[in-house]
Amino acid sequence: MAFNLPQKIPNDETTVFTVMTRLASENKAINLGQGFPDFACPTQLAELVTHYISKGFNQYAPMNGVKELREQISQKIRALYGREYCPDKEITITAGATQAIFTAILSCVERDDEVLIIEPAFDSYLPAIYLAGGTPVPVQMKLQHDTKTKQLTYALPWNEINASITDKTRLIIINSPHNPTGTVWTQQDIENLYNAIKNRNILVISDEVYEHMVFKPYHFFSAASHRELADRSFVISSFGKTFHVTGWKIAYVAAPQALTKIFQKVHQYNVFSVNHPIQYAIADYLSDPHHYLKLSDFYQEKRDFFQAGLQQTPFQLLKQEGTYFQCVSYKDLNIPQSQLSEFDFCTWLTKEIGVNAIPLSSFYLNRHENGHIRFCFAKQKSTLENALERLFKLNEKV
């Protein structure tokens, strides 16, 4: 019998990260596409996990997460951003940030609610909005030249954001430091957002998973650092990014009590609870702030090294302020492939040059094309050297 299967997500695409990682391994290319480190996690953290497994923390964790971890998160946020979240009533441990975002969207979006997203936007936002019955309202960042550095940069489109807010807007999803562009919101941006929504019944999801990767002279401003904005925000961050363990799928949501309540109503039936021994291990590891405060310097060194190499290729570098991603434009390369779509260019680069990247078009509802691709530099120096060596071959082609 042929079933008439529902089409709850309107497109049939497999996420670009799966597609590109598969393509990289099929072609033995260096994978600078999907964002993950290719180096080991801290030994101490791995040992702590083993310790808690052998101590017997192998059954269900509490639904909202292990208390010790919620307390550490609360302390961290207070120290860095000045807001006090109650560990018992305002923090939830989740199975990664994607689940946290998904659950937050499901918990507050009702049928036909509008959800404003700022494109390019991480590819999990749209499907979650559709599944919640909401209507995505994409607003596109503006490509412009930075007045100081003259580099091409993606800037926040405040006029368009303000113009897109309607009586139906229920939620805005923001992301700083921004994946894929590397833009970091300023304090003024946070203030602008608050002014845009303060008199309306609009909630905010602030995806801050790259919060500890912000490069000089830029500073990170969390939604948690703005008192009134934080009153209506789900603030989400990820240990996978901060401690080089993307495969552990562990993150958290900090939100005022009423928001946490609606979040947990969904969370308890969605995943119920998260990996128990890992929560204890991270609680111990998080108690030393050096373990996350040193991260920006660690990645800035990698970024500077990678940028210096890319500058010797025909790519044009886009401005980069945070995250472990570097975007480049291939539009002005003097080769026939510069006319390809971003997806096809990434496919060609993977097969012919041996380096995998992510097309920015995958971060747009309408697959908008600017001729920009994203490299991940969360890699050992030798990996970056090998990738650059291959990219230098482009010089012979142009």
Binding residues for ligand GLN (CB under 6 A): 15, 17, 34-35, 179
Least distance CB 16 / ligand GLN (angstroms): 8
- Residue 348, judged by CB atoms within 10 A of its CB (0-12, 13-18, 19+), counts as middle
Closest-by-Cβ residue to ligand GLN is: 35
Q: How far is the CB of 376 from ligand GLN (least distance, A)?
A: 6
Provide the minimum distance between the beta carbon of 20 and ligand GLN in the complex, in angstroms, as a whole number. 9
| Residue burial 187-219, b: 16+ Cβ < 10 Å; e: rest | eebbebbbebbeeeebbbbbbbbbbbbbbeebe
Q: By C-alpha distance, which of 344, 379, 378 is closest to 20? A: 344
CB of 178 to ligand GLN, least distance (A): 11
As measured in angstroms, the least distance from the Cβ of 102 to ligand GLN is 12
Neighbours of 334 (CB within 10 A): 8
In the bound state with ligand GLN, the residue whose beta carbon lies nearer, of 34 and 140, is: 34
How many angstroms separate the CA atoms of 166 and 128, rounded? 21
Q: How far is the CB of 124 from ligand GLN (least distance, A)?
A: 7
Respond yes or no on whether the N-terminal peptide bond of residue 62 is cis (omega within 30° of 0).
no
Question: Which residues on neighbouring strands pair with residue 317, listed in sequence order?
Answer: 328
Which is closer to ligand GLN, CB of 97 or CB of 137? 97
Q: Contact, 130 vs 8, CB < 8 A?
A: yes
Residue (138 or 359) nearer to ligand GLN, CB: 359
The secondary structure element, H or E, covering residue 119 is strand 114-119
Contact 175, 118 (CB under 8 A): yes
Reported as half-sphere exposure (CB side, CA atoms, 13 A), residue 121 has a value of: 28
- The distance of closest approach from Cβ of residue 35 to ligand GLN in the complex, given in angstroms and rounded to an integer, is 3
Q: Which is nearer to ligand GLN, 48 or 358 (CB)?
A: 358
Task: Give the nearer residue to ligand GLN in terms of CB position, either 22 or 200.
Answer: 22
Q: H-helix or E-strand containing 207?
A: strand 203-207
Nearer to ligand GLN, 61 or 209 (CB): 209
* Between 35 and 127, CB nearer to ligand GLN: 35
End-to-end CA distance of the chain: 55
Contact in structure between 208 and 223 (CB atoms under 8 Å): yes
Contact 346, 152 (CB under 8 A): no
Rounded to whole angstroms, how far apart are CA atoms 83 and 394?
49
Are the beta carbons of 152 and 379 closer than 8 angstroms? Answer: no
- Which CB, 209 or 259, lies closer to ligand GLN? 209
Sign of CA dihedral 326, 330, 334, 338: positive
CA 33 to mean position of chain CA atoms: 14
Task: Report the nearest approach of ligand GLN to the CB of residue 123 (Å).
Answer: 8
Pick between residue 181 and residue 329 the one whose CB is nearest to ligand GLN.
Answer: 181
- Which of 176, 179 has the CB closer to ligand GLN? 179
Contact between residue 174 and residue 118 where contact means Cβ atoms under 8 Å apart: yes
* Closest distance to ligand GLN from the beta carbon of 112 (Å): 28
What is the nearest approach in angstroms of ligand GLN to the Cβ of residue 330? 19
